[in-house]
Structure 1
Amino acid sequence: MSTSPSPRSRKLAVTAAALVAATALAGCSEEAQRGFLPESAPGATNHTDTIMSLWNNSWIAALAVGVLVWGLLLWCVVAYRRRKGDNELPVQLRYHVPLELMYTFVPIVMVGVLFAYTSRSMGEILDTSATPDVEIEVVGKRWSWDFNYTSDDVHFSGVQAQLTGVEGVPETLPTLYLPQGELVEISLRTRDVNHAFWVPGFLMKLDMISGRTNTFQIVPEKTGVYEGKCAELCGEYHASMLFNVEVVTPEEYDQQMAALADQGNTGLRGPEYDPQYFTGNNDGEQHQEGSGN
């Protein structure tokens, strides 16, 4: 049986190579270079570039393996397909020890390398050993947010967004203010069911689990307004649990804190505002503000 590829096979191989090259060129676009992540992500915080690098390199490794496997499969299908006059089966092999060792060892090495880079990056992102410049507690509740600016002893208590389809809703959402260039420690907890704090522009999502506090530190580096939302299905109005994050200069941040104090929002909104059926309080009092209504 003939095993040499025909001219037609070579043409198909050249066509496949051209398609791969076109895909690689398409990858030179700005969207592809940031891994199709949010446009605001590059440089938004001190962690976004690390996350983007890990994301893109993981995809590059996956695509390299995919191109190799797809190429070998197509080559075998085209070059060794059955032709007219071929009445014999090719030689059948039960096993090939060197090949089997290779495709067992190589994936283990690849997974180990990806694990090492992921572990290192996650260690940097979740490191909270530094002394923060600003401390903020974000409290999720059905279906809005409370922001306790711990360092300044002021707070903001949000109410549920009304998604009517009319323009202007984003301007009415709770806004979390962050000072540009300062190390901010954000503590996350929930008043009731599980929620999740997600800011796509920061490439950051962290769960808010009942009875537990999760903490992370970031340095906001690029001023602007970023969308935030709950990423954990938390009930009927989960889709309305939206907020804004506005990164401002330190001077503007101080002005916002002073404005909250002038509005009478001094002190912090603590666990005493949690709904009684979650805290075990039996005094019969309903804390309407803490329940997100």
Structure 2
Amino acid sequence: MKHFINVILLVLALTALLLFLTDPPAWMPLAASAEAGPVDWLFGLHMDVIIFLYVLVNGVLLYAVVAFRRKPGDTGDGAYFHSNTRLEILWTVLPLAVVLYFSYLGLGVLRQTTAAAADELEVIVTARQWSWSFEYPDYGIAAGELNLPAGRKAHLVLRAEDVIHSFWVPEFRLKQDTVPGQEKYLRITPTEVGAYKVRCAELCGTGHAAMLAPVNVLPPAEFDIWVQKRLGTYVEPEGGAGEGPGEEDIVALGQQLAQANGCIACHSLDGSKLVGPSWKGVFGRTEALEDGSSITADEAYLRTAIIDPGSQIVAGFANLMPANYGDTLLPSEIDAIIAYLKTLE
């Protein structure tokens, strides 16, 4: 009985210590969606049970090694046990019961996180090496960043153009692979206004680490204004327009857009060769094209290269650049990217 009590005390003490040290809220990112709640709850319960079972098995083992070690002068053989049917049934039935119980809980969380809503916002998400694009069929607009209204469920239709990618915003807690030739679905209800990043969570080539895109959760009124600006129907309140952005602001916006749309994954800034031509000193540079002609990279060429990249391919490079930037970028945003390119000497 003494050993039994000692084991119980050891297991309880170690379990309490590990539960304190591994408290999930201490190292999990911000929970920024309604779906994050049940996911975090299930994850926390998983951690608690796993820690307890780990300590139970290894605590008993550790105690047995210390308490029943060979005593000085003891040269006899250890006791021989052929089998213990009750124990074998216990350690088979107990893990099975735990697994089945968590399967039941997991199905419940899955139902919660995939439930549809009557007023959900549909967004078509397209992944490609190495950028994301977002279409809003309800409004007839597209963008290189994902903007969502807080409190409204979004129905994401996920597609891939080339290889398998994976849509993941850590603060939303949900992740879904995108598979070429298939449509996958994800439902998210953002709750915390703020700026986040969507990451590709599936190794997809040399630019995988740079496959990021902004995710902005906006108050509903601000989301409506953003939609109107994309449609070109927004009217500034009287006296609210103020002075336009300065040259430095435009260049900074261009740099931000280039990073957000994955341009840096294919175009180096230091002259090294990547998937596409380097942007170092690109403005004013003479480029040899694959048809044998040459062209000077002026503003007109850079604009064409962004909107219709397949029309004038630089010699030595494949036609891999997405051809939808004319849809996802506003004319003013393309101007900002060109302004940024002009500064890269």
In structure 2, which of residues 43, 46, 49 is the aligned counterpart of residue 55 of structure 1? 43
2:18 pairs with 1:23: yes
* Distance (whole Å) between structure 1 residues aligned to residue 204 and residue 48 of structure 2: 35
In structure 2, the residue matched to 1:131 is 118
Q: Aligned equivalents of 1:23 and 1:287: distance in 2?
A: 50
1:71 aligns with 2:65: no
Q: Secondary structure of 1:67's match?
A: helix
Rounded to whole Å, the distance in 2 between the matches of 1:289 and 1:14 is 62
1:184 corresponding residue in structure 2: 154
SS at match of 1:146: strand
SS where residue 88 of structure 2 aligns?
helix
Q: Distance in 2 between matches of 1:59 and 1:143?
A: 34
Q: Which has the higher contact order (CA 8 A, sep 6+)?
A: 1
Call closer, same or farther: CA 1:231–1:105 in 2, change over 3 Å. same
Larger Rg, first or second structure (1 or 2): 2
CA contact (8 A) 2:14 2:55 kept: no
Which residue number corresponds to residue 243 of structure 1?
Answer: 213
Counterparts in 2 of 1:196 and 1:4: CA distance versus 1, 3 Å? closer
Match of 1:90 in 2: 78
Alpha-carbon separation, structure 2, partners of 1:47 and 1:76: 44
Does the alignment pair 1:258 with 2:228?
yes
CA distance 1:257–1:118, shift in 2 (3 Å): same
Residues of 1 paired with 2:11 and 2:158: CA distance? 50
In the alignment, which residue of structure 1 is the partner of 2:109?
Answer: 121
| Equivalent residue runs for 1:185-224 within 5 Å | 185-224=155-194
Q: CA deviation at 1:127?
A: 3.0
Instruction: Report the TM-score, using the length of structure 1 for normalisation.
Output: 0.74
CA contact (8 A) 2:198 2:212 kept: yes
State the one-letter code of the partner of 1:118: G
Q: Does residue 154 of the first structure (1) align with residue 141 of the second (2)?
A: yes
Cα RMSD (Å) of the superposition? 2.8
The match for 2:265 is none
Question: 1:86 aligns to what SS in structure 2?
Answer: coil
Give distance in 2, aligned partners of 1:218 and 1:62.
28
Q: Is the 8 A contact 1:180 1:248 kept in 2?
A: yes
SS at match of 1:131: coil
Q: How many residues align?
A: 241
Alignment of 1:156-175 (within 5 A): 156=143, 158=144, 175=145
Q: Structure 1 unaligned segments of length 5 or more: list them.
A: 159-174, 264-272, 277-285
Residue type matched to 2:68 in 1? Answer: Y
Given that residues 35 and 55 in structure 1 are in contact (C-alpha distance below 8 angstroms), is that contact kept between their aligned partners in structure 2?
no
SS in 2 for 1:289: coil
Q: For 1:120 and 1:222, locate their aligned partners in 2 and report how far apart those are by CA, in whole Å.
A: 24
What code does the residue aligned with 1:73 have?
L
Distance of aligned partners of 1:209 and 1:237 in 2 relative to their CA distance in 1, 3 Å threshold: same
Q: CA deviation at 1:132?
A: 3.4
C-alpha separation between the residues in 2 aligned to 1:88 and 1:4? 24
Tell me which residue corresponds to 1:103: 91
Question: Quick one: distance in 2 between partners of 1:287 and 1:84?
Answer: 74
- CA-CA distance at 1:35 after TM superposition: 6.5
